[in-house]
Amino acid sequence: MSVVSSKNKLCKEICEAFGLKHVKSLDIHMEVDGMITIDAKMLVEDEQLHRLVPILKKFKLVSLEDITDVSAIGEPWKHYQKPEDQSQH
């Protein structure tokens, strides 16, 4: 068995498959019978940042702490707890 480092060509192929450039970190989580989530941290290019502004203007951003009914958000937030409620587990 060999250890795969971030310099391995497989890592580069994964980033290319998702169109990610200048990746600083990439976490892929695969739950059994659940969702696959990918968290990526990357350096943003000027062009990407300029394309983001009109997209964000279409939405009203709300803090999760201000949401009282998380059922409308969907499955990813099914188990979300407000910070003050986390002591219960």
Tens digits of per-residue pLDDT, 55-74?
888 888 777 677 666 666 66
Q: What is the pTM of this model?
A: 0.46
Q: What is the pLDDT of residue 52?
A: 86
DSSP 8-class letter at 89 = -
- Residues 6+ away with beta carbon under 8 Å from 22: 42, 43, 44, 45
Can you list the alpha helix ranges (DSSP code H) found in 1-89?
Answer: 9-17, 46-56
Question: What's the rounded Cα separation, in Å, for the pair 24 and 18?
Answer: 14
What is the percentage of the chain residues whose pLDDT exceeds 90? 3
